[in-house]
Amino acid sequence: MSDLKIEYLIGVYQYFNPNPEEERGAAYYLLYLLDQRGVLEKDDAKKLFRESHQDYDLKSKWLGPFESLDTINQFAFTLCEKLDAQKISLLSVQEYNGLLEHTLLASDFLLDLLEKGSVIENIDKKEKGFFKKLFR
């Protein structure tokens, strides 16, 4: 995947029907992926999603559909592993907006994004970090 080191990921998702005329029904979609530098390009995530969803349109601006929160969590964990990130925090659009409205400082907002979402940790990455520190 990418050569740049990613410490953490933040995913913002929403449950909606992007194309009501197709009569597919609503599903979960990842709208944004962020890392420590800002908005993360979704190219790697789209390729990973396409591996298990052959009919996915790579030109879509959203990543999905995901049938449930469990499936979006599973995908988030796999993405976290592939990008070698320490953790990913998933928030709904409503949770994201609520944090944005009630946080005064940008540093507090970032901390809330990392801690108040559904946090999934990459245990392999965490252990590597621990052993790196131990055997310096």
Q: Tell me the pLDDT tens digit for each residue of 48-89.
A: 888 877 666 656 788 889 999 999 999 999 999 998 999 999
Q: Tell me the pLDDT tens digit for each residue of 7-19.
A: 899 999 999 988 7
What are the domain boundaries of the chain?
Answer: 8-134
Which residues contact residue 119 at a Cβ distance below 8 angstroms, ignoring those fewer than 6 apart? Answer: 87, 88, 89, 90
Alpha helices in 14-68 (DSSP H): 43-52
Q: By percentage, how much of the chain surpasses pLDDT 70?
A: 84
Residue bearing the bigger pLDDT, 134 or 18? 18
Determine the number of helices (DSSP H) and then strands (DSSP E) in the chain: 5, 6
pLDDT of 114 strictly over 90: yes
